[in-house]
Each structure stands twice: as structure tokens, then as C-alpha cells.
Chain A
Amino acid sequence: MPEVRSPILELQGITKSFGGVEALRGVDFALLPGEIHGLVGENGAGKSTLMKIIAGVHTEFSGRFLINGAETHFRSARDAHSAGIAMVHQELSVAPDLTVAENVFLGNQPTNRLGLVQWRRMAREAGEQLARFGIDVDPMSRLGDLPIGLQQLIEIARVLFSGARIVILDEPTSALSPPEVERLFTTLRRLREQGTAIVFISHFIEDILRVSDTVTVFRNGRKVAETASAATSKGALIEAMIGRGGEALEHSYTDDLMLPQPSGSSVILKVDQLSLARSLQDVSFEARAGEVLGIYGFMGCGQQELSRILFGKLKPDSGTLAVDGKPKTFASTAAARRAGVALVPESRRDMLFHQEPVYKNISISILDRISALLLKPAQERDIAQRQVKQLQIRPPVVGLDLGMLSGGNQQKVALAKWLTYPPKLLVLCEPTRGMDVGAKNDVINIVRDLRTKGLAIIVLSTEPETVLSLADRILVLKRGAVVREFRNEPVSKDRLLEAA
């Protein structure tokens, strides 16, 4: 018995341009109360722009904006907030040094008549709220001490329970383990029953299909499809997203994939009994020339710490590293670089200089190879130009500030800076995270190409697809320990998830 509900939010003919380029073209979008609305599209397709309009971040646009049928115009994010619209951004925005309870009540701590914070009440209520979410933590513990996935759940919980009637979640599941995703979905469904409207943006199409009622697909600033989730499939959505035959690109990795025979090539890196308090326990493995070693695990399994140790950014409590058979203790990242180790961390912000031109970003790691004392800008540009061409970085202008490139192209620059003088060992953290299908394929091809050149490559990822698409051999890391190695045997997404 389908009852006719009127939309809580309705957008008509929204057009938004940035400096003459249309990011959104005549988009209609309606959100019903008690609906979970999935949003998919490649990076730059316009989903974030639309959400930022809804959340009052972008205030200049043309088209009609109605809330409960009344035309509205937000002048700021604060306006949107007081209209009951809340957004959880992809990046964590928590205060790690405050307690869990303070984070839950950030900005509206319960106070008594004198304006003093009622700590006991705050702790109790925070605990109750989180318990409804299935989160069992001491509300008075420091948030930064908790695993990242749990921090993200707490942030989502804070927004969900803030009383907002419209909640926008941008990639909420990317840092969560499957049980955490399950908990999130349970809560979303409960909120749906209470009449909250939820927008769910994700690259994980399976997640969208599982939890949402309706899916809207964006491509190049237009809405290209809107359909009931039950009436569509992953393949159909991907096809709508990229506008060409989706079948070839949709590799779901649900079937077994055969890992190759381990190569007998030389050992580039040998890690022995590496331990770091609360992060890694007796991790030992080898990486060989011409081989991609995948390391898979959920967020917080110790991958990040492991990659930092390999690049001399963190010092292990115990254990040894050997590069080319020579034992190494890296005093700095500079020492690791000299020993032939390169790292591309998961966060591009940490790796790149957004206010500097592309060529300076590419040359920074090799300046000491091309100049002793004086810089040679012409040579730097030449080298950068070659990398830009080889990696198909768009636009191919080496003098452009890096911040003006799209995310996928920035990721390519992060790779490019290591490739002029290829290292012996290349460590890649989440090399395809947050990228659209096209850019993802480009990066995968670059990595495969490097493997044939004889580099030892380690790919660390929390996305099974990333590891499966690249690795010759896979280690599964769980709570800081290697729990399983896949080699010369069939492997699939299920098998990986099961092991982790």
C-alpha cells in the first residue's frame, strides 16, 4: 500500500558553474522523508557539488530549492544546519584530544544553571546514544585512542542523533570493517523508520544497493538515472555512471582468482619480527623484485604503521629490516629514500605540495640527483613533462599549481615523483582510494608496468578489490599480525574477508 509522501527536500533545475564550467546542469532531485537515497557517480560527476548546495556550502546557483514545499535559500552552512540538514564528510572531523562524550556533544554540552558542563549527565547520555548504535565504549575515554573505524562511527552517530531531518553521508563506509558497516546500516534503517531522510554517497555500489531505497546516478553534471534499488544491479549502475559498457570494468572479484607461482627473483626487502606497541606484532615477510605483494586488512589493522616503518617515518619497537640483504635502521625518510625505498601514503594531502606547480612536486624527490648546488629548472620541467606524458596526467601542463588537478591526477603525480629514478621498493597505500573507474584503471596499469620493470612493490589496502586487482601474493593483516598468506592458490573477495 504505497502512500504518497511529499518530499521533504526538492531541488528543481539546479545549475551551478565554477568559472564558466558547469558542474551541474539542470538537475532535479527530491528526497522523501523516511528514505535512504543512494548517490553514485564518478569523481567530478557533480554529486558532491549537489550535496554542498543542499548543506549550504555553495550558496550561488540557479534553480529552485524547496524544503517541505517552501522555497528556501540558504546563505550559509549554519542556515542549512538550523533547517535540520546535517552532513558527515568523508574526512574525519573529530577532536581526538577530547573525550568520546565531549565529541558526541560538541557544541552543545549539557550545562547547569551556572553554565558549567554537567559531566556526569553528558557521559551518561553519550553512552546511551552510542549504545543505541551498538557502540560500547567508555564515554570518558579519549577519542584519539580508539581505532579510526570506531572514531568514524562515533562521528556518524553524533550527526545521526543531532536531531537532523536530512542527513548526508559522504563515503561513510570506506574506513569501516564489515561488522561496523552492518551496525551503521542497522542504525540507518532505524532512523529511516523514524522518518529521517538520508542521502548516502559511496563508491561501494554493493553498499548502496544493500541499504538504499532509491539510487540516483550522476554523470558529467547531469542526473542520468534514478531508480528503485531493488530494480537495478551493480552492472547497470556502473554502465549508467561511466556511460559505456560496464561489464568489462565491473570485476567484482567474487569468483576465485588464481595467484601465480611465486617467482624465484631476488629478495629486495626482508622484514623480520617487526613489532610496534598496539599496532604490529611480530610481522615477518619478504618482497621480491618484479612482484606485487598485497597486504590486506581492515582499517586499523596496522597497515599504516607498517608502511611508515618501511619508509623510516616510524621506528619499530623491535624487529629488523633488510634491503638487498643489508640490514637497515632508517633514521629518517631521507635515509629510506637513499636506500631505495619509496612510499606513497594514503592521503594525497600528506604527499603533495598543493600550492606548488606540478613540476616541483615531481622533482622534489630527485633534486639531489639532478643538481648539486644550483637548481636546473629546465631539466626539472623536462623530467616532469616526460612523467606527465607517460602517466597521462591531465591537463599536461607542468607549470600548473597542483591544487588545480583532480584527485586522480594528483594521485598520479604522487606516483610520478618516484618514477624518474625508480626505487628498488615501492610501497603504495590505498593507491586507488576515492578514484573514478578510469583513473583507477590507469593507476593499475602503471603499477603493472612497474612490476615488469623489476621493482618490488607492496600495495597496502583496506579495499579487497585493490589488492586483488594488483597483487601476485597477498598477506592478510589482522590486529597487527599476519594471519594468512595467499600464494599460488585461488583467492576471492570472500576468502580475503573471511581471513581478515
Chain B
Amino acid sequence: MTSSEAAPVAGQRARGLAPFLRSQMRNIAPFLTLIFLSGFFAFASPSFATLDNLGNILTQVSVTGIIAVGLTFVILCAEIDLSVAGIANVTGIAVAYFTLQDSYVNIANIPLPGAVAIILSILLCALLGLVNALGLTVIGIPSFIMTLAMMQIAAGISALLVRGQIAYKVPSLITTLGSGSIGGIPWIVIVAALMLLGGHLVLTYTRFGRYVYMVGGNREAAEYSGLNVKLILGAVMVISAVCSGIGGMLGVAHFGSAQQNEFDTYLLDSIAAVVVGGTSLFGGRGGIGNTIVGLFVLGVLNNGLDHVNIDSFLKILIRGLILLAALVINVYAQRLREKAAE
């Protein structure tokens, strides 16, 4: 019995480098994409591979990066959050709504001290995340549908708050973090880096992080192991909403205004960053490291296309094709992995 059971395993280990690389395809492919894109743009445009431009890219992906931290948790659990951009928008608007605006801004807002405005805004996004969480876990609405509704709800609240107007002022802390810089490094880049680092530490070194991976890897097994799966799913939805809210507040300061539909493109960008980076849409595989690579792929792509002489309408199509390629790799990598595990 012993020999017959040990044998296939010895076989697995003896298979060498190629299968190992295949099982790591989820991590390798995005990285190669990044190197390829960087090399291509560096070759195609002299203004691309400069330190200044690296700073540009970092700044450009910061808001997406902050939102993508929370989204990584959600996707690792094999759920989705379509309300990230909506929640970012409403939180950004809320923090402006609670700040004294200049007299020409025609919004019937409620000016409060900066700290209070920030706390209320964070509570707002946490509350919206909690609604997502309850809908998903208690009522049992699939996250795809639940957060689709939340996207609309967040847009609705945003609309009611600004009523088609534009607000400009946000608390000074937010202004600093969103548009200031220290020692030449924009604060928003530092915040994004710290949040990505924090997310990575939580996912890798905490019990909660392990639970996120296990719930994503096999939800049924997590439940049969006596984990409180609903609590974990609820928590990731709230984390996602709070990250989105922070991204929204800093984004408003970064753009210099708070208005309806300001963050619309960030839904696709943040999901793309997570998935392009190689985090499995089926849950349980990937992480913040992947998200960072994904952010750079998107950042380099968006930025690089501006440096080369290319029809600006074609850029949209190219972005779509790159995303499609990443999805193909994502699904393919999952299949290879499952095959290896058989």
C-alpha cells in the first residue's frame, strides 16, 4: 500500500521545471506583459523611459491602486464588487459636501470641521459596504447583482448631494494627501503604497488573510472546517467599500473637484488591475503583489499610448484587447493549475 500511494507523488516532484513554470503562469505572464510593454514604449518613444514619467505613472495609478486593494480581497473570495467606483464617487462628494465651499458654489451643503467631515464620509462608505455585505450574506443576493444595485444607489446619493453642481473644497488633510507632495513624492503615491503594503501584510501574515484565501479556494470546505464564511465575506465587502471611499476622497482632492460620474472609469480600471495582475477570478489565488503588477501594466499602457503617436480612438480598443488577453490567461492559468492538482 505504501509504495503504491507514495509513487504518484514522487512522480509529481520529479516533473521538473516546466510544470513548475506552468503552475506559476498566473504570476509570470503579467510580469512578462509588463516588461514587454515597458520595453516597447521605451523603444517607441524617447520621453517614456524617464524618471519624470515614472513619477507620472505612479501618480496616475494611485487612485486605482487604493481602490484595487479592497477589490483584491473581494476577488480572492471569488466575489465581485461593481460598486467600487460608485462608492468612491459618493464618498468624495460627501467629504466635499461636509466642507465649507466658496460662495459661488451653489450647493445646500452642511459645513463641518474637517476631521468630522472625514469621519462621516468614511462611515458613509463603510455603511454602504455593510449594506453590500448584508445583501450578499444574510439575504443571499449574488454579489454581482447586489453591488450593481449599490452602484446605482451610490450614484443616486451622489446626485442628490451635488444636484448637478461641482464642489471644489475638501478638508485640508484630504487636500494635502490628494494633491500635495513631500520631498518631491506625491502624498497620494505614498498613501497608495502604504495601503497596498497594508493589504499585502493582512493577506499574507494574518489569520483573516488566510481565511480569505481559504474561503476563495473552496467555500464549501471552509464552511465544513467551521469557518464563519458569511462573516469573512461580509468583512471583505466592507473593506472594499472603505478602500473605495478613501480612493474617492483623495481622488476628489487630486482632480480638484467633486462631481457626478467623476470616477466612472475607475470601475473597469480597478477590476482590470486585479485581474490583469493574475488574481484568479475563481478565488483563492493571487494577491496584492499581482495587483501591483496589474496596476503597472495598466499604468504603463495608458501612459505609454499617450507617448506614441497613435489614434486616440484606437487606444480604447487596444485597452480592451489587452484586458481580453489577460482574462484568457487568467482562465487558462486556472485550468493548468487544476490539471496539476489532479
Q: Is the CB of B7 within 8 A of A356?
A: no
Contacts of B228 in A (CB 8 A): 332-334
Contacts of A406 in B (CB 8 A): 5, 8
Q: Is the CB of A21 within 8 A of B10?
A: yes
Given contacts A20-B14, A356-B217, A438-B1, 20 further A-B contacts (CB under 8 A): A19-B11, A20-B11, A44-B5, A311-B226, A332-B230, A333-B226, A334-B227, A342-B226, A351-B221, A354-B218, A364-B225, A367-B210, A373-B206, A373-B207, A375-B210, A394-B6, A403-B340, A404-B341, A405-B5, A409-B5
Interface string of A320-363 (1 = CB under 8 A from B): 00000000000011101110001101000111111110001000
Contacts of A332 in B (CB 8 A): 228-230
Q: Is the CB of B205 within 8 A of A336?
A: no
A70 at the interface (CB under 8 A from B): no
Query: Could you say which of A220, A354, A372 has the most chain B C-beta atoms within 10 Å of its C-beta?
Result: A354
Give bound CA distance, A368 to B114, whole Å. 39
Chain A: interface residue total (CB-CB under 8 A): 53
List the 7 closest pairs (A to B, CB-CB), nearest first.
Answer: A337-B226, A403-B341, A438-B1, A19-B11, A334-B228, A21-B11, A406-B5
Q: Is the CB of B207 within 8 A of A313?
A: no
Smallest CB separation, B230 vs chain A (Å): 7
Q: Is the CB of A404 within 8 A of B9?
A: yes
Q: Is the CB of A45 within 8 A of B223?
A: no
Smallest CB separation, B75 vs chain A (Å): 16
Query: Could you say which of A352, A364, A371 has the most chain B C-beta atoms within 10 Å of its C-beta?
Result: A364
B residues engaging A (CB < 8 A)?
1-12, 14-15, 205-207, 209-211, 213-214, 217-218, 220-231, 284-285, 337-338, 340-342
Known A-B contacts A20-B14, A367-B210; A352 and B218 likewise in contact (beta carbons under 8 Å): yes
Q: Is the CB of B218 within 8 A of A18?
A: no
Contacts of B223 in A (CB 8 A): 313, 333
Q: Is the CB of B225 within 8 A of A417?
A: yes
Minimum CB distance partner of B284 in chain A: A355
Give bound CA distance, A338 to B225, whole Å. 11
Q: Is the CB of B224 within 8 A of A404?
A: no
Q: Is the CB of B224 within 8 A of A350?
A: yes
Query: Could you say which of B6, B210, B226 has the most chain A C-beta atoms within 10 Å of its C-beta?
Result: B226
Contacting B8 at CB < 8 Å: which of A18, A334, A343? A18
Query: Could you say which of A395, A405, A439 has the most chain B C-beta atoms within 10 Å of its C-beta?
Result: A395
Smallest CB separation, A277 vs chain B (Å): 19
Smallest CB separation, A406 vs chain B (Å): 4
Q: Is the CB of B207 within 8 A of A367?
A: yes
Residue pairs across A and B with Cβ atoms less than 8 A apart, 24 shown, are A42-B1, A313-B224, A333-B224, A336-B226, A337-B225, A343-B224, A345-B224, A351-B224, A352-B218, A352-B221, A353-B218, A355-B217, A355-B285, A355-B341, A356-B213, A364-B222, A367-B207, A367-B211, A371-B207, A373-B206, A375-B209, A394-B5, A404-B9, A405-B5
Give bound CA distance, A438 to B6, whole Å. 14
Minimum CB distance partner of B208 in chain A: A373
A374 at the interface (CB under 8 A from B): yes
Contacts of A354 in B (CB 8 A): 218, 341
Smallest CB separation, A405 vs chain B (Å): 7
Q: Is the CB of A333 within 8 A of B4?
A: no
Give bound CA distance, A394 to B12, whole Å. 14
Smallest CB separation, B205 vs chain A (Å): 6
Q: Is the CB of A436 within 8 A of B218?
A: no
A408 at the interface (CB under 8 A from B): yes
A401 at the interface (CB under 8 A from B): yes
Q: Is the CB of A408 within 8 A of B5?
A: yes
